Amino acid sequence: MSTRTLISPAQLARPRGKILYWVTFGGVVTLFTVVFLGPMYWMVSSGFKDTQEVVRTPPTLVPESFEPDNYAQAWNVMDLAGLLGNTLYYAFGALAFQLVLDVAAAYSLSKLRPVFGKAILGMMLATLMIPATVLVVPQYLTVLDVPVFERNLLNTPWAIWLPSVTNAFNIFLLKRFFDSIPKELLDAASMDGASPMRTLRSIVLPISRPILGVVSIFAIVGVWKDFLWPMLTLPDPAKQTLNVGIYSLSNGVPVNVLIAALTMASLPTLIIFLIFQRNIMSGLTAGGLKG
Amino acid sequence: MSAPSLTPSKAARSRHDRPPVDGPPPPGGSFTRSLKRNLTAHGFLIGAVLCFAIFSWYPMVREFFLAFQKTDQGEVSWVGLDNLETVFNDPAFWQAWRNTLLFTVLALVFGFAVPFVVALVINELRHGKGYLRLLVYLPVMLPPVAAVLLFKYLYDPGYGLLNEVFGAVGLPEQQWLQDPDLSMLSVVIASTWMNMGGAALIYLAALQGIPGELYEAAELDGAGLLRKVWHVTIPQTRLILSLMLLMQVIATMQVFVEPFLLTGGAGPEGSTTTVVYLIYQYAFNFNNYGAAAALGLLLLVLLAGFSAAYVKLSRAEDE
C-alpha cells in the first residue's frame, strides 16, 4: 500500500538513502517518544517516589524509593473513588442522554423529514458558530434558574447531562451517517408495517454501530476532559468531577501524592483510548479528505 | 462546554458521500396522514430541541440582552452602553486583548506549524507510523488538569525537568511561568503539547490523499525536497490548511483553561490574562454579568468573521 510521498522510493533504495532513512527514523522515534511519552513516564514514576526524591535535582530516572503508598494515600486523601464515581456517573449519563435524544433527533431530521426540519437543523448548526466561551455566562445563569421549569440545577447531574445534548456536532455526524442509509431499506420496512420507532431500532441502529461508537467515545471523553463548566456548576466538593476535585485539592497535598492522583485520573481515558484507538482515529479523520 | 476539537464538516464527511436526497415527501398525501407523520417526526425531535432551546438558543439571546443590562440584587435595569464603557475603561482590557493576540500568534507559530511538520515527517516514514500516531495523540486523552499540572512541575524553577534539560545542554535556566516575558510562551508550549494530536492526525490524513504522480512530475522538473513541499504538498492541502488555521484562531482566541491552571489566570504582572479569563473574572469574581456579557459580545463579533469564513470555506470544500 506504499503510496508515493515526498521522497522517491529510488532515492531511498540507494545505500546513502537507506542510511539516511534509518538515522532519521531512529531520531524521530526517539524524539517523539521523549517528547510525548517522557512527561507521562515522569508522572507515573514520580508517583512512586518519596517526598525528598520527587523534588531532587537532578531527577532520578528510575525511582530509588518505592512508595506505592502514595497511590493509596492519593486515593484516600483526595477521595478519588468519590470523584471517579461522580465523573463516571456524569459521563455515562451524558452518553445516555446524547444517544437517546441526539440519535432520535438526527433520525427524525434525516429520515422522517418533519416540517421546519431544515430550519431546526440550521439553528442547531448555528450554535457551532458561536464561540462556546461567550455562552458560558448566560448558560450558567440559565442553569441557576431554568426558564419555564423554574429549577435550579446547580450541583445536580442535570447541569452536565442536559447541556451535553446540545451537541450540534454529534447530531450532524449522525445525520450524515443516517443520510447514507439507502432509502429502499427503510421503505421496505415501512411496507412491512414497521413503525418509525421499530425501523430505527431494528434497521438504522444496527447499521450505525460504527458512528454510534465514535459519538459515544466523544461524549464520554468530552465530559471527562471538561473543566470550566463542571467547575462552575458543581461547586459542592462532594459532587465534583476528577478534574475539578483534583484542581481544588492540588495545593493541600504533597507533590508525590498529587502526582499519583494525576496518574490515576489520567488512566481511564488513556485506557479507553488504547482500546478504541482505531475508532477514535478514524472518527477524527473520517472521510477521505480531498487532495 | 468545550468546542469540539475537530472540524465539523471534516469528520462528518463519509467516503461514500452523496448529496442529501431532497425528494418529495413519501406518497400518501391525505392531510391526516401527513399530520400524523409530522407528529411522529417532531416527537423524535422534541427532546433535543428542548435542550437546545433552553441551554443554547435561549442563552444566545440572553447574552445579547445581558450585555445591555445591569443586575443589581435581582433588579434588572437597562443601562445601554454602560457595560461596554466599564469594560473599555478597565486597564486590564487592553492587556487582555494584547495577551490573547500574543497567545494566538504564538499558538499559530507552534500549534499550527508543529503538527503540520510532524504529520509531514510521519508520512515520510515507512515504519512505525501507527506507533508515532499513537504517541502524538496520547496527550489529547489526558484530562486537562493532569496535563497542565504535569507541565507546572516540568516548568518548576527548582526541580523542574525542563531546567534540567536546559542546564544539561548549557542553556541558562529560566523562570518559565514566573517570568512575565516567558509566561505566555510557556502556556503556549504546554497547550501545544496537549492539543496538537488532533490537528496532526487530520493533516496526516490529508497528506495521504496527495497523488504520488505530482511528486514524480515535480522531480522531473528538478524540484528538491523543499520545493516539492512548497509547490506540491502545500497547494494540495491548501483547503484543509486554511480550515485548520481558522479553527485555530477561533479556538485560541478563547483560551482559558491552560492559563487558568498554569498561572492562576492572570499570571505574573497580568501577563497571561486573556479575554476569556477577564470574562470569567467579571462574571464569577465581581458578579458583574453585564460587563462579562458585553466583553463576550465583543469577542463574538470579532470571531463571527472568522466563523463565517470557516463556514464558507468548508462549503467550498464540500463541493
* Cα B280 versus chain centre, distance: 18
Indicate the DSSP class of residue B157: T
Give the pLDDT score at B41: 85
Check CB contact under 8 Å for B45 and A142.
Answer: no
- The answer as to whether B117 is a domain residue is yes
CA nearest B301: which of A89, A176, A131? Answer: A131
- The answer as to whether B171 is a domain residue is yes
- Identity at B118, one-letter amino acid code: V
B77, β-bridge pairs? B70
Summarised one tens digit per residue, pLDDT across range B108-121 is: 888 888 999 999 99
Please give the residue that has the higher pLDDT: either B122 or A66: B122
Summarised one tens digit per residue, pLDDT across range A131-177 is: 888 899 999 999 998 888 878 899 999 999 999 999 888 898 899 88
Q: Which sign does the torsion angle of CA A73, A77, A80, A81 carry?
A: positive
What is the mean pLDDT of the segment spanning B114-140? 89
What is the mean pLDDT of the segment spanning B247-270? 86
What is the mean pLDDT of the segment spanning A7-18? 81
Locate the chain B residue with the closest alpha carbon to A106: B45
> Is residue B245 packed enough to be buried (19+ CB in 10 Å), middle (13-18) or exposed (0-12)?
middle
Give the pLDDT score at B15: 44
CA nearest B275: which of B302, B245, B255? Answer: B255
> Number of folded domains in chain B?
1
* Alpha-carbon span B251 to B247, nearest angstrom: 6
- The answer as to whether B64 is a domain residue is no
- The answer as to whether B99 is a domain residue is no
- Which secondary-structure segment (H or E) carries A241? none
Locate the chain B residue with the closest alpha carbon to A56: B159
- The answer as to whether B161 is a domain residue is yes
Residue span of the structural domain in which B234 resides:
104-271
Beta strand extents in B9-58 (DSSP E only): none
All three cell numbers of B192: 501545544
HSE-CB for B132 with a 13 A CA cutoff: 24
Contacts of B219 in chain A (CB under 8 A): 8
Q: Which sign does the torsion angle of CA B22, B26, B27, B28 carry?
A: negative
- The answer as to whether B10 is a domain residue is no
pLDDT band at A3 (very low <50, low <70, confident <90, very high): low
Beta carbons of A108 and B44 less than 8 angstroms apart: yes
Q: Calculate how close chain A gets to B143, using CA atoms only, in Å.
A: 5
Give the pLDDT score at A163: 94
Assess whether pLDDT exceeds 60 at residue A109: yes
Give the pLDDT score at A58: 72
Check CB contact under 8 Å for B11 and A180.
Answer: no
Contacts of B52 in chain A (CB under 8 A): 123-124, 127, 165-166
Contacts of B287 in chain A (CB under 8 A): none
Summarised one tens digit per residue, pLDDT across range A111-131 is: 888 888 899 999 998 888 888
Indicate the DSSP class of residue B15: T
Q: Which of A56, A102, A146 sits opposite B48 (nearest CB)?
A: A102
φ, ψ dihedrals at B70, nearest 5°: -125, 135
Check CB contact under 8 Å for B41 and A117.
Answer: yes
- Interchain CB contacts (distance < 8 Å): A and B: 358
pLDDT band at B5 (very low <50, low <70, confident <90, very high): very low
Q: Calculate how close chain A gets to B269, using CA atoms only, in Å.
A: 22
Name the one residue in this structure whose C-alpha cell is 539516511. A20
Summarised one tens digit per residue, pLDDT across range B194-234 is: 988 888 888 988 888 888 888 888 888 888 888 888 888 88
> Is residue A238 packed enough to be buried (19+ CB in 10 Å), middle (13-18) or exposed (0-12)?
exposed
Contacts of A287 in chain B (CB under 8 A): 10-15, 17
For residue B164, the domain's CATH number is: 1.10.3720.10
Give the pLDDT score at A286: 54
Q: Which of A213-227, B67-81, B100-114 has the lowest mean pLDDT?
A: B67-81
Assess whether pLDDT exceeds 60 at residue B132: yes
Mutate to test the interface with B, among A3, A133, A198 (most CBs of B within 10 A): A133
The pLDDT > 70 percentage for chain A reads: 96
Residues A249, B280, B276, A147: what is their CA dihedral angle, to the nearest 10 degrees? 110
3-state SS class at A287: coil
Summarised one tens digit per residue, pLDDT across range A13-31 is: 888 888 888 998 999 999 9
Assess whether pLDDT exceeds 60 at residue A98: yes
Q: Calculate how close chain A gets to B151, using CA atoms only, in Å.
A: 8
- The answer as to whether B157 is a domain residue is yes
Summarised one tens digit per residue, pLDDT across range A188-239 is: 888 888 888 888 888 899 988 888 988 888 888 889 889 999 999 999 999 9
Helical ranges in A127-254 per DSSP H: 136-144, 158-165, 168-179, 183-191, 196-199, 205-207, 209-225, 228-233, 242-249
- The answer as to whether B220 is a domain residue is yes
Indicate the average pLDDT of chain A. Answer: 86
Give the pLDDT score at A147: 82
Give the Cα-Cα-Cα angle A204, A209, A212 (nearest 5 degrees): 95
A247, β-bridge pairs? none
Give the range with max mean pLDDT: A85-89, A265-269, B130-134, B149-153: A85-89
Domains in chain A and their CATH numbers?
9-67 (no CATH), 79-249 (1.10.3720.10)
What angle, rounded to 10 degrees, do the helices at A255-284 and A69-77 form?
A: 80
Beta carbons of B221 and A192 less than 8 angstroms apart: no
Indicate the average pLDDT of chain B. Answer: 83
Q: Which sign does the torsion angle of CA B259, B263, B264, B267 carry?
A: negative
CA nearest B148: which of B266, B260, B251, B275? Answer: B260
